Structure 1
Amino acid sequence: MFNRILIPIDLNHADKLEKSVSAGANLAKAEKIPIVFTAVASTVPSALAHTPDEFRAKLDAYAASQADKHGVSASAHAVFAHDPAAELEDALLKAIDETGADLVVMATHVPNLADRLWPSNGGRVASHADISVFLVR
């Protein structure tokens, strides 16, 4: 049914993404298809990584650990943006095109009053992507 699953990851909050990662991994395992873990970062040094290469290495390590944990094939794809918070949706849409993913499995929060004015990141990706997007609360 699907050929490749893209799972957006925030490495600063990876411990809070277990539900969406598990959902994506279960789909990947059932369909025998690969996962691409994608993260968006700035090229500016941060507490997480001082260089883009260091960020890529941490994302690669995360993908490898999740592949081992869930028994799936996984790779990593880093996208760099000037302002990751402001450009997140565009960066994720770019990653979809670059990786050839045909399904996104993405964590999201329970909607609240603010979402009536500003939709969530997942909601914006779902409304602009031309592929299926599975939002996991």
Structure 2
Amino acid sequence: MYHRIMVPIDLAHIEVIEPTLETVADLARHYDAEVCYVGVTSSAPGKVARTPEEFSRKLEAFAQSRHQVHGQPVSTHTIVKADPIANLDDALIAAIDEVGADLVVMPTHPPKHLDVIMPSHGGKVATHTDVSVFLVRPRKG
């Protein structure tokens, strides 16, 4: 049913998205799907990497480490934006077509009142694409 699963990755906060990574591993094994890890970075030096090339190497290393966990084929896609935070949603929506994803699995937060003013990234991605989007909430407790 699914052949390529896209997973937006924030290399600065891997520990927070562990439930998402576990979900992706299960889905990839179940559907015998490739997992494409997508990262958005700036051209300016940042917390994770000094250059987009260094960021791409770190994203690839991360993908290979996840391959060791779930055994499915992996790929990466690095997006470079002047302001990654302001352009994140649009960049992720464009990446779906760029990588040929037929499922997006991404972390999300529990609904809040602020969502009316500032919707979640997952909510925006889900409403602006025709592929399935699976949102993974953090574990309670």
Partner of 2:24: 24
Partner of 1:82: 82
Partner of 1:125: 125
How far the C-alpha of 1:2 sits from its partner, in A, is: 1.1
**5 Å matches for 1:41-120?**
41-120=41-120
Measured in 1, the distance between the counterparts of 2:106 and 2:117 equals 21
When normalised by structure 2's length, the TM-score is: 0.94
Partner of 1:2: 2
Structure 2: segments with no counterpart, 5+ residues: none
Measured in 2, the distance between the counterparts of 1:119 and 1:93 equals 15
How far the C-alpha of 1:71 sits from its partner, in A, is: 2.0
The secondary structure found in structure 2 opposite 1:101 is coil
CA deviation profile, 1:13-61 (whole Å, cap 9, x unmatched): 0111111111111111011110000011111111211111100000000
How far the C-alpha of 1:123 sits from its partner, in A, is: 0.5
Letter in 1 for 2:129: A
Count of equivalent residues: 137
Measured in 2, the distance between the counterparts of 1:33 and 1:69 equals 14
The secondary structure found in structure 1 opposite 2:130 is coil
Structure 1: segments with no counterpart, 5+ residues: none
The secondary structure found in structure 2 opposite 1:17 is helix
CA deviation profile, 1:80-113 (whole Å, cap 9, x unmatched): 1111111001110121111000100000000111
Instruction: Please give the root-mean-square deviation of Cα atoms over the aligned residues, in Å.
Output: 0.8
Q: Say if 2:38 is the partner of 1:35.
A: no
Measured in 2, the distance between the counterparts of 1:122 and 1:45 equals 26
Between the aligned residues of both structures, percent identity stands at 47
Q: Is the 8 A contact 2:107 2:135 kept in 1?
A: yes
Measured in 2, the distance between the counterparts of 1:71 and 1:22 equals 13
